[in-house]
Chain A
Amino acid sequence: MAVKKILTLPDETLKQRSRPITEVGPAEQQLFEDLRDTTRESPGFALAAPQIGVLKRAICVDASQAKRPTPDNNGEVILFNPQIVSGQNPEVNREGCLSVPKYTGDVERYQKIIVKGIDINGESIELTSHEWEAVAFQHEIDHLDGIVFIDRISSLEDGLFKRKPRG
């Protein structure tokens, strides 16, 4: 059990691009466990490796763990080198980020995607994902490119909201 500290802005790590994973060795096995354990213990349901301070292309999404679980979700998915293959039905919704506590923003994301990557055994996998689970994949893959939701706010006027007015 290794629950890592989740980095928050303005930590510079969150603005870096992560490196692709070229082989799954002991370090990647450790990263897999750290991502899994930290996501399970977090108030959210998805995490990217840079959020726990590792600049490697790895994410964890578990929409079954969400407060309102996405119907027909893929359960706990830990992907290395994840990529969006295709996306449909862009929609603007309010989202938050564990690395940007207390703020939320309206971001346009695909509501249906195909995502691919490799699993802990080095096998290629491809998944179809919907709704909040699909949003989470896009949000986490953004982290691998040093992008946080604030970079994607679409509306100048109503884009960024504080969760709490003060405190």
Chain B
Amino acid sequence: MKRYLINAFGEDRPGLVAKITKKLFNSKANLGDLQMTRLGGIFALLLEFFIDQSQQAKVRTKLQQLATDESLKISMIDADPYGTEYSEQDPNMIITLYGADRPGIVYEITRVLGQQKVNIINLETRLEETSTLYLMVMELHKPDTVDKNQLTEQLEKTAEDIGTTIRIRPFDPPEL
């Protein structure tokens, strides 16, 4: 079995996930991770699936046909060439940040993280249409080599400079 990824975009309406997954199900694909959201009101889907390599071309054709029929943008890639150096890391830190919307919030914060080799595992931001409040939630992996206090200080300073409130919490949920 080989691993592939799909992304799909289109005008949001009921039935799209079923239409896409039906094509995969009929080709005996097994789904892995899936995320679907409305991104700025647009249907947006990211999906991982596993399938026998011999079925690959057929699935690709079916998905392209579906894209044409339903006015979707669908692309499919082979996931196997991607390395896993960072993909086994557990999150150990959560950041929430909010403030008046302005350009550069995500860039300023993620720039600090990137410089320190802190890896982002999940990132979601929201700007509701009728609101000027920008919200961001991130799950991160901070390597042990990065000083926690120094990173916190840097992030707090950056957040303040861009007029936002930041909360940095360790992430270590107990197993009960």
* Residues on A facing B (Cβ under 8 Å): 42-46, 66-68, 93-98, 101, 104, 132, 135-136, 139-140, 149, 157-158, 161-167
> What residues of B have a CB within 8 angstroms of the CB of A96 in the complex?
173-176
- Decide: B88 and A166 in contact? CB cutoff 8 A: yes
In the complex, given contacts A66-B174, A165-B89, what are 12 additional A-B residue pairs having Cβ atoms less than 8 angstroms apart? A43-B175, A44-B174, A67-B172, A68-B172, A94-B171, A95-B176, A157-B37, A158-B137, A164-B89, A165-B33, A166-B84, A167-B84
Chain B nearest CB, measured from A129 CB (Å): 13
Contact A97 B175 (CB under 8 A): yes
CA A164 to CA B175, docked complex, whole Å: 14
**Is A104 a contact partner of B173 (Cβ separation < 8 A)?**
yes
Which residues from chain B contact A98 at a C-beta distance below 8 Å?
175-176
| A161 and B174 contact, CB distance less than 8 A | no
Question: Which residues of B lie under 8 Å from residue A165 when comparing CB positions?
Answer: 33, 87-89, 121
Q: Would you call B176 and A140 a contact (CB within 8 A)?
A: yes
What is the distance, in angstroms, from A138's C-beta to the closest C-beta of chain B? 9
- Pairwise interchain contact B171-A158, C-beta atoms closer than 8 A: no
Give the complex CA separation of A104 and B172 in angstroms: 10
Please tell me if B108 contacts chain A, counting CB pairs below 8 Å: no
Contact of A94 among B87, B88, B122, B173 (CB under 8 A): B173
A98 to B173, CA, bound (A): 11
Give Cα A65 to B176, complex, Å.
Answer: 12
